[in-house]
Structure 1
Amino acid sequence: MENMAGHEAEGRPVEYIGSRAVGHRIYDFYRDDTGDYWYQVRILLTTGELVSETDAIFGHEIHGRRKWVI
């Protein structure tokens, strides 16, 4: 999802397809209105908090990315 702008796809509507957990990583899959597929990665911390991969790596969000809590 973060790379949509780099592929000139920013702003396209997307539909959530589903998620897959692999260890502490959760991959969220989407399909846009032109049929292209996208994903984003979230990390489940040992505290039980679910954060973006950026937040897990750098300890804070960059460019206003969202943070999730479960």
Structure 2
Amino acid sequence: MPGLWAAPLAGPVGNLVVATALTDTQLAFRERTPVRLMAFLDDAHHRNLSRVTGPVYQFRHARLQERLTQGE
């Protein structure tokens, strides 16, 4: 039974995926963030639009920062 070891992991991993998806959806609905927020932030970093300092993403351009914070 080679696949038997994967059965105990299927529940927690599945729950983690569902919890992450629900959190992404909740943030998108309440805060109007992109649904795939981490993918958005990672893409902005790769395009050199943001910098990462520890767990914090900061957009480099002041006008972009102002535009993103207008709703607050």
TM bucket normalised to smaller: under 0.3
Report the structure, 1 or 2, having the larger strand content. 1
Structure number with greater CO (CA < 8 Å, separation at least 6) is 1
Give the TM-score normalised by structure 1.
0.24
Larger radius of gyration: 2
Tell me the TM-score normalized by structure 2.
0.23
